[in-house]
Every structure is written in structure tokens, then in C-alpha cells.
Amino acid sequence: MKIRPSIFLFIVVTAVLIALVLWYGKMKPLETTATLIETNAALSASTVTSSPASASIDTNASSAQVASNTIVPPQNKGEQMKEGLAAMNDVPIVFYGRLADQFGNPVVGAQIAANVRIYNGVQSTVEHLTVASDGNGMFQIKGGKGESLGIMPKKEGYVLATTSTEFKYSYMYANHFTPDLNNPTVIKMWKLQGSEPLVSFNKTFKLPYTNAPIYFDLITGKTVSSGGDIKITTSRPSGEVSEHNPQKWSIDFEVINGGFIEISDEEWGVTYSAPDSGYQTDGTFGNNNGPDLVDKAFFIQSRNGQIYSKVHLLFGINDTPDGFMNITFSGVANTNSSRNWEATAPK
């Protein structure tokens, strides 16, 4: 069969058109890429040929934009705490002191051990140094910076007679210590004269409640019908006295043929001779918190000055009307009409 010339021509034209379409489709991406390359090159050339002044302005604007976009991280809490502690606790440690005995005389040549407490967020430690008192009992301590200072003077034949030798320099304390060159801090030391025998006692009484007076003999550690050293009369309301039912109660405290001086536990521990005056014969001590104790320390002169005692009293009320009161006396007594308590001094 013969193909008509018209049909043959149509087939050839169609094939040529298809070939052209395929060829053009492959070339288009390449042309696009070339166009983009040419465009970028033109932009780069334009930038390079820009004036120096324009380049400078662009650079500064870019720097300003970077600076404005820079985020400074906030300080963390740990660093803030360290800075706060350093500001409050890194205080110059300077101390002006004078050592004096019970007669007001200077304590010469004593060795004073000093401990500087450092707590500033970076360090938590204690530094040690030693100084000596001069011919007038004077001494100075310069210990860098710290939170507090503790001192301990020592000399043969003397014992410390001051209740506290720790000084808080930190600004965290409202009444922080401030040194004064013209007003040195006096540290008392007791010059030992020779100890005498003492009687020690530590006795607990468990007694049923009564509103009648109870007499205590400190030397024998017994209750007596009258006399002795101390008389206690207890007053409490009826019913339960406890944490769940707090009620006011009290004791009347009286020394037989003598008197007492109420003191702190610290003073109790560093006093080596009974005062010669200032005693009162009786007093009332109360408690409004149910089962809490009356906890007191006294210097006591009893039996017309025959006995001088250092006494610690603990008194616990009975929680129920038929319960027991707990009363403890502890301490020492000189039974020779002497005020000497030097046997209680640390060795």
C-alpha cells in the first residue's frame, strides 16, 4: 500500500515539532540558571562599584542592627547570691581589745587565739591567727575580711570570765560589731586564787501536786518539813494543763535565810566566786504554755551565808491534777561560808 504524500508530510512535521518541544524543555532550566547567574553578577558588580561612603553607612547600620538584636543573658541566681554574700559578709576584721582580771588589773602576755569565719559564696572556711596582750593588757587583731571573729585568750593561772567572745561583723546582723580604737572591748579573765572543796548535786524529784510549800535540802538531796535551802509553792488551775489545753501556772521561789540572783546559763558557767550582794529573797516564775518548763539559773546564798551555791532549776508542772511534778536541781555548793567556786574552772 502506498502512503499518500500529504500523510507522509504530516507525519514528518509532527515528528519535527515533538523534537523541538523536547529540545526546548531541556534548555529552559539552563537558560534560567544562566539568567540568575548573570543577575547576581550584576548585583555584585553594582555593590563593588558603590561609593566608599555608602559602604560605610551600610556597615554601621548593620552593626547597629546586630547590637540591637544582641540578647544579654540575665545573671543567674547563684551569681546573685555570691555577690550578695560578698557584699554583706566580706567585712574588714579589725578588733581592739583589753584583757583585765576580776580586780581590774591588766592581763599581760596572754596569748589570744583568733578565728576569722569567712563565708562569702566563694569560700566557706576559718582562718586562724594568734596575737599577744601587751603591758597594759591591750591587743589588736587584723584578720583580712570575714563574717565574724571568735577569740580565746589563754594564760597560765587565769580562766576566761566573759560570757561571749564571738563578734559578728556581717551587715546581715542589725547590731553588727563595730570596732572602736578609742574604746577597746574589755575581755575579763579570772585570776585563780586557789580552789576550795565543793559539793556537787544533781537531783530530780517526782512529786504529786500540792499547793502547800515544799522545802528542799540541796546538800542531802531530800525534801524536808521545814528549813533546808529552797522553798517552792506551786499554783495551777484545775483540769488538764497541756499543749492542747494550755493554762497559766506559776511557782513561788524562796531561799531560806538568804536570797538568789537570777542569771544566764553563760554567766553561770564563767563565774568563779559568789557575789557579795544583790540577792533577793523570793520571786514568782510563771509559764503560760502548758507543758513547757520553768528553766532558770541562780546564784544562791542560803542558811545565813553558810552556803553559796550555783543552782540550775528545771520545773515541769503536772499535766493532770493527779499527775506528778518534776523538779530538778543541779549545781555546786561551797558549804564553808566561802564564796569561792574556783573548783568549777576549766582545767
Residue 27 DSSP SS3: helix
What confidence score (pLDDT) does residue 29 get? Answer: 44
HEC profile of 217-260? ECCCCEEECCCCCEEEEEECCCCCCCCCCCCCEEEEEEECCCEE
- Kindly give the residue spans of alpha helices, DSSP state H, lying in the chain: 5-48, 52-69, 77-89, 265-269
Place of cell 547590731: 175
Predicted model pTM: 0.72
CA distance 326 to 180: 48
Contact 190, 101 (CB under 8 A): yes
What confidence score (pLDDT) does residue 84 get? Answer: 79
CA distance 88 to 320: 51
What confidence score (pLDDT) does residue 122 get? Answer: 87
What confidence score (pLDDT) does residue 72 get? Answer: 54
Q: Which CATH architecture has domain 90-191?
A: Sandwich (2.60)
Short-list 224, 218, 282, 227, CA closest to 253? 282
CA distance 122 to 83: 9
CA distance 261 to 100: 24
Half-sphere exposure in the Cβ direction for 56 (13 Å, CA): 3
Domain ranges of the chain: 90-191, 199-344
Q: Which residues of the chain have pLDDT under 50?
A: 1-3, 6, 8-9, 12-13, 16, 20-21, 23-68
